[in-house]
């Protein structure tokens, strides 16, 4: 019954041309002053030319690398570049996961199997717990595995291996010296406009409750390359979360040479004196747009911090900034309840020297405490207007 | 099946690349000969067509046979069998089994007296662990579940090391973090590595993997998690051999019970080991029970062995109470695991869990005492080897008595020494979370120390090595 109904419907639909319409998931309100689409082509967060650095992005990269050749890369190409470097410099690096051999469903592993061999870049059966267990076994045996979970939404079958095994291995093994520190797990995360319940999630705060792993999320191709190389070379196991909406959207001039960016170190991307805005990953762009609007409208100066590593996170940089500005706003895509913002807010009020400098309550702009429903994404993920309003509220307090 | 279409949606353009590598092309190069009896479906290459509608019924297959060398009377039933080791070596294996069974009795009682927190005996399963261990290479990487004490003993773990772990004292390599019976050791494996061979290999190559070790992995409580890890370890060993052909060929070995085989990790591990052709030997101890759950509630197929075939894995079922059968199977399995560039092997050892599951379990709540007594009397790996040794004239009642007494003394001595040792330094609770102690953890260490300073009567840290001073930064 059902099948026939669908068949008739599609036949009927095909018989006349579909009306031309804008895609409903990518439109923006025509009269919006705040909620305009992010213009990745002009945002100051990306280095659009090899001359003149983007916001942040240059202090930690060695001079010879910065002055060397650069190439225009989007985020997936920067990830690919980092993986290629890692494979070339260390024979113990292996890359595996579902569909990585042909280049990956997001193209992050393009050409790596051809260049480095099918023994080092290979597909696994479709089993996340298997991928994670396999990776931990490789790491314990002295290899340097880089596992891919196709979407962060599908990491949950591997949770036991992450929480009980990968995170605890060094602790449990004690004096035997065995650990899974050479393991890196990459996973695309975050909203993409139409990913619905299982192609949108940002489960980073669940990982931040697990001592043992470092949880990293880059905001741009330059950051992705440096942080991913650090994660792979690190002797602590790392979960590297890639905001998939940036895979093609974020394009910048990335140094071709290898370089590392420090883990567990936040970056003050834009200095300011009236309020501190802390974020990571894609919302960094939303924050910057909101900041620019607020600075114009309200005549204030906002400091923007990219946490980069959400656990163990860089308290000192955050505290120093909040002590200076007295106001703070934490922005993330993942739902607000027990999110990264909760930990940061608690730590800020817990630190006596920082607490006494607070001029307003710590505010959080994050996803609502709901699941990432397909048709409601634009009302759920923090947007420019909500960040702008919270900056205003904090300053008015 | 997850929605692949949605996976691609974030991309602005969907470009399906033309596969260029040989591996990528293989899947699409299946051709069908004209009038072939076989289907060229990519999912089952050699399946012949049939016009008979017939479901395969598990009951129409006879159970896989159980391989044995020596029967329960100690008589050799495999006429092709000749012992491959000296009488002295057999006696050593026998004493290893005896050691474990005597230690089990002493420690079980000690737990009952409240002198240690927990214990698990391995009565009835000594031949599986000792027998397997005795034919593995010392550098093979081994993953255990928790009822393989015999393997640690056979590999040379000392009484002091057993007791240090059980009492979680300062000599415990696990630094007092793990429950009793969660043994692990580094020394057992690296001691025999030929350092000159490794140094020579290191000189030829800059590979970091030269530093690789073959650890006797520390036991962890979550069941079956070690199985896919063993697959990964097997793949690592295969890669290390490929990248350094002068190095020794090694396998990974993984033990687990039939209950653990119901976990998803078992499935993941078998499948990934088969598809990546990993040299790994999976050894299942099928002892009839997972705590209170009999195998009838655990599975309805022909045990664990029948599953191996489904994964494309060479499989055998052996009598786990026959140390010779275990040895022959594991020895042959190891050779096979290293053939053809490496492949997995599954060995199901049939045994009976004579003991309670652990000190927290009274098994007579779910099984008849008579059943247990029957197994103890009728068939037992230790008495079976003893009968074989006695028939051969290398063992007798006097030797048995002497061995039991000296082992008992040795264990009791180790027991009382380990019990008196200090516990690990308090600082070790904050170490090894990361490679280096993080600022957050340093702050927490200081916070704990301040508490011990301010409330000295609320905490007893006298039994910890170095007292509270170790918490000082």
CATH, residue A370: 3.40.50.920
Question: Does residue A143 fall inside a structural domain?
Answer: yes
Q: Does one domain contain both B242 and B127?
A: yes
Q: What percent of chain B has pLDDT over 90?
A: 76
Q: What is the pLDDT of residue A28?
A: 76
Mutation choice for B interface testing from A90, A120, A130, A138 by most B CBs within 10 A: A130
- Cβ neighbours of residue B23 under 8 Å, at least 6 residues apart? A101, A113, A118
Q: What are phi and psi of B177, to 5 degrees?
A: -95, -25
Q: Does one domain contain both A218 and A322?
A: no
**Residue A121: DSSP 8-state:** E
Q: Does one domain contain both A60 and A172?
A: yes
Q: Does one domain contain both B455 and B358?
A: no
Mutation choice for A interface testing from B3, B14, B229 by most A CBs within 10 A: B229
Could you list the active site residues of A? 128, 199
Q: Does one domain contain both A302 and A376?
A: yes
Does residue B60 register a pLDDT over 50? yes
Q: Does one domain contain both B177 and B296?
A: yes
Question: Does residue B78 fall inside a structural domain?
Answer: yes
Q: Which of B12, B178, B242 sits opposite A172 (nearest CB)?
A: B178
State the residue for tokens 């290191």. Answer: B202
Q: What is the pLDDT of residue A24?
A: 57
Q: Does one domain contain both A84 and A209?
A: yes
What are the respective helix, strand and coil percentages of chain A, to the nearest 5? Answer: 40, 15, 45
Region B428-442: mean pLDDT is 97
Distance from CA of B367 to the nearest CA of A (A): 32
Instruction: Please give the residue range of the domain that contains residue A366.
Output: 267-396
Q: Could you give the CA distance from residue A34 to residue A298 in angstroms, rounded to a whole number?
A: 14
CB B233 to CB A138 under 8 A?
yes
Question: Does residue A42 fall inside a structural domain?
Answer: no
Mutation choice for A interface testing from B161, B168, B222, B232 by most A CBs within 10 A: B232
Residue of A173, A266, A122 whose CA lies nearest to B23: A122
Q: Give the strand order in the sheet containing B314-319.
A: B141-143, B252-257, B280-286, B345-350, B314-319
CB A247 to CB B10 under 8 A?
yes
Q: Does one domain contain both B430 and B410?
A: no
Q: Does one domain contain both B414 and B270?
A: yes
CB A129 to CB B264 under 8 A?
yes
Angle, alpha carbons A187-A158-A131 (nearest 5°):
70
Does residue B236 register a pLDDT over 80? yes
User: What tokens were used for A141?
Assistant: 């045996």
Residues of chain A falling short of pLDDT 70: 1-27
User: Residues A290, A384: contact at Cβ < 8 Å?
Assistant: yes
Question: Does residue A15 fall inside a structural domain?
Answer: no
Q: Does one domain contain both B141 and B179?
A: yes
Q: What is the pLDDT of residue B406?
A: 98
The complex's ipTM?
A: 0.92
Q: Does one domain contain both A307 and A387?
A: yes
Q: What is the pLDDT of residue B37?
A: 78
Q: Does one domain contain both B161 and B308?
A: yes
Q: Could you give the CA distance from residue B350 to residue B326 in angstroms, rounded to a whole number?
A: 10
User: What tokens were used for A247?
Assistant: 């895979």
Q: Give all strands (DSSP E) within chain A, no chain letters.
A: 70-74, 93-97, 121-123, 144-148, 184-189, 214-216, 238-243, 251-255, 267-270, 275-279, 302-306, 309-311, 328-335, 363-367
Q: Could you give the CA distance from residue A157 to residue B265 in angstroms, rounded to a whole number?
A: 10
Give the count of domains, chain B. Answer: 2
- Confidence class for position B13, pLDDT limits 50, 70, 90: very low
CB B225 to CB A165 under 8 A?
yes
**Does A337 contact chain B (CB < 8 Å)?**
no
Domain boundary among A255, A288, A314: A255
Q: Does one domain contain both A96 and A229?
A: yes
CB A174 to CB B213 under 8 A?
no
Q: Does one domain contain both A225 and A126?
A: yes
Q: Which residues of A touch B4 (CB under 8 A)?
A: 105
Give the count of domains, chain A. Answer: 2
Region B239-260: mean pLDDT is 95
Region B242-265: mean pLDDT is 96
Q: Does one domain contain both A248 and A287?
A: no
CB B232 to CB A142 under 8 A?
no
Residue of B412, B433, B467, B421 whose CA lies nearest to B170: B421
Q: Which residues of B touch A194 (CB under 8 A)?
A: 9
Domain boundary among B419, B434, B459: B419
Does residue B320 register a pLDDT over 50? yes
User: What tokens were used for B469?
Assistant: 């001073």
Q: Does one domain contain both B173 and B293?
A: yes
**Does A92 contact chain B (CB < 8 Å)?**
yes
Question: pTM for the whole thing?
Answer: 0.91
Q: What is the pLDDT of residue B444?
A: 97
Q: What are phi and psi of B142, to 5 degrees?
A: -115, 135
Distance from CA of B210 to the nearest CA of A (A): 8
Distance from CA of B463 to the nearest CA of A (A): 20
Q: Does one domain contain both B291 and B377?
A: yes
User: What tokens were used for B324?
Assistant: 């010779």
Does residue B335 register a pLDDT over 90? yes
Q: Does one domain contain both A116 and A245?
A: yes
Domain boundary among A224, A255, A286: A255
Q: Could you give the CA distance from residue B165 to residue B162 in angstroms, rounded to a whole number?
A: 5
User: Residues B270, B311: contact at Cβ < 8 Å?
Assistant: yes
Question: Does residue B53 fall inside a structural domain?
Answer: no
For B361, other C-beta atoms within 10 Å of its C-beta total 15
Q: What is the pLDDT of residue A18?
A: 63
**Residue A19: DSSP 8-state:** P
- Confidence class for position B17, pLDDT limits 50, 70, 90: very low
Question: Does residue A104 fall inside a structural domain?
Answer: yes
Q: Does one domain contain both B354 and B234?
A: yes
**Does A183 contact chain B (CB < 8 Å)?**
no
Q: Does one domain contain both B250 and B369?
A: yes
CATH, residue A178: 3.40.50.970
Domain boundary among A222, A255, A288: A255
CB B208 to CB A133 under 8 A?
no
Nearest chain B residue to A190 by CA distance is: B10
Q: What is the pLDDT of residue B201?
A: 42
Question: Does residue A37 fall inside a structural domain?
Answer: no
Instruction: Please give the residue range of the domain that contains residue B432.
Output: 426-471
Q: Does one domain contain both B183 and B233?
A: yes
Domain boundary among B403, B419, B435: B419
């Amino acid at each position: 019954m059902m099948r026939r109904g669908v068949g008739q419907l599609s036949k009927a639909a095909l018989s006349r041309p579909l009306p031309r319409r804008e895609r409903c998931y990518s439109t923006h309100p025509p009269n919006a002053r705040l909620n305009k689409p992010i213009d990745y082509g002009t945002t100051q967060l990306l280095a659009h030319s090899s001359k003149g650095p983007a916001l942040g992005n240059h202090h930690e990269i060695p001079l010879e690398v910065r002055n060397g050749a650069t190439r225009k890369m989007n985020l997936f190409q920067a990830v690919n570049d980092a993986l290629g470097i890692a494979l070339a410099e260390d024979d113990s690096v292996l890359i595996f996961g579902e569909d990585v051999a042909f280049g990956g469903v997001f193209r992050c592993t393009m050409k790596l199997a051809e260049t480095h061999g099918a023994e080092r870049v290979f597909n696994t059966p479709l089993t996340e717990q298997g991928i994670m267990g396999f990776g931990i076994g490789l790491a314990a045996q002295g290899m340097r595995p880089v596992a891919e979970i196709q979407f962060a939404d599908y990491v949950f079958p591997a949770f036991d291996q992450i929480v009980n095994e990968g995170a605890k291995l060094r602790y449990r093994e004690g004096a035997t010296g065995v650990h899974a520190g050479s393991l890196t797990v990459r996973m695309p995360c975050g909203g993409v406009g139409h990913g619905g319940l299982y192609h949108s999630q940002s489960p980073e705060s669940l990982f931040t409750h697990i001592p043992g792993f470092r949880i990293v999320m880059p905001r741009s191709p330059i950051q992705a390359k440096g942080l991913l190389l650090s994660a792979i070379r690190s002797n602590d196991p790392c979960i590297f979360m890639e905001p998939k909406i940036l895979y093609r959207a974020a394009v910048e001039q990335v140094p071709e040479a290898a370089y590392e960016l420090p883990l567990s170190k936040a970056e003050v991307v834009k200095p300011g004196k009236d309020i501190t805005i802390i974020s990571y990953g894609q919302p960094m762009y939303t924050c910057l747009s909101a900041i620019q609007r607020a600075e114009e409208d309200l005549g204030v100066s906002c400091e923007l911090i990219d946490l980069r590593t959400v656990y163990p996170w860089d308290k000192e940089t955050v505290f120093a900034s909040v002590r200076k500005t007295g106001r703070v706003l934490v922005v993330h895509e993942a739902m607000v309840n027990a999110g990264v913002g909760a930990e940061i807010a608690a730590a800020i009020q817990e630190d006596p020297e920082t607490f006494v400098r607070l001029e307003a309550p710590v505010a959080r702009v994050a996803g609502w405490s709901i699941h990432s429903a397909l048709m409601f994404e634009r009302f759920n993920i923090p947007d420019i207007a909500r960040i702008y309003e919270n900056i205003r509220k904090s300053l008015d307090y | 099946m997850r929605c692949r279409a949605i996976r691609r949606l974030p991309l602005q353009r969907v470009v399906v690349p033309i596969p260029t590598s040989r591996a990528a092309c293989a899947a699409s190069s299946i051709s069908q000969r004209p009038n072939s009896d076989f289907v060229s479906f990519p999912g089952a290459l050699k399946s012949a067509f049939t016009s008979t509608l017939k479901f395969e019924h598990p009951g129409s297959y006879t159970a896989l046979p159980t391989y044995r060398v020596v029967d329960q009377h100690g008589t050799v039933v495999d006429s092709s069998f000749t012992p491959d080791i000296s009488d002295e070596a057999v006696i050593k294996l026998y004493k290893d089994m005896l050691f474990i069974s005597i230690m089990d009795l002493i420690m079980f009682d000690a737990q009952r007296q409240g002198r240690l927190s927990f214990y698990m005996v391995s009565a009835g399963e000594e031949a599986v662990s000792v027998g397997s261990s005795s034919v593995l290479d010392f550098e093979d990487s081994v993953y255990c579940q928790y009822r393989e004490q015999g393997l640690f003993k056979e590999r040379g773990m000392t009484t002091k090391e057993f007791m240090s772990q059980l009492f979680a004292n300062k000599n415990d390599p696990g630094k007092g973090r793990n429950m009793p019976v969660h043994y692990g050791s580094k020394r057992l494996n690296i001691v025999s590595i030929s350092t000159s061979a490794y140094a020579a290999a290191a000189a030829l190559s800059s590979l970091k993997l030269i530093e690789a070790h073959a650890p006797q992995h520390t036991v962890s409580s979550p069941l079956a998690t070690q199985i896919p890890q063993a697959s990964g370890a097997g793949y690592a060993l295969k890669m290390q051999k490929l990248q350094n052909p002068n190095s020794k060929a090694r396998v990974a070995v993984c033990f687990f019970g039939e209950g653990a085989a119901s976990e998803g990790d078992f499935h993941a591990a078998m499948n990934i080991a088969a598809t990546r052709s990993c040299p790994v030997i999976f050894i299942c101890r099928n002892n009839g029970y997972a705590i209170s759950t009999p195998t009838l509630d655990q599975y309805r197929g022909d045990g664990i062995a029948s599953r191996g075939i489904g994964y494309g894995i060479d499989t055998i079922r052996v009598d786990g109470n026959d140390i010779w059968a275990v040895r022959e199977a594991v020895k042959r399995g190891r050779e096979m695991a290293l053939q053809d560039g490496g492949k997995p092997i599954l060995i199901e050892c049939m045994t009976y869990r004579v003991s309670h599951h652990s000190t927290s379990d009274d098994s007579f709540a779910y099984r008849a005492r008579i059943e247990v007594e029957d197994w103890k009397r009728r068939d037992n790996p230790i008495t079976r080897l003893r009968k074989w040794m006695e028939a051969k004239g290398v063992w007798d009642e006097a030797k048995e008595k002497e061995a039991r007494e000296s082992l008992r003394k040795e264990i009791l001595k180790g027991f009382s020494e380990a019990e008196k040792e200090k516990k690990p330094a308090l600082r070790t609770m904050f170490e090894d979370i990361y490679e280096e102690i993080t600022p957050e953890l340093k702050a927490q260490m200081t916070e704990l120390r301040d508490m011990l300073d301010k409330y000295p009567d609320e905490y007893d840290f006298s039994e910890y090595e170095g007292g509270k001073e170790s918490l000082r930064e």
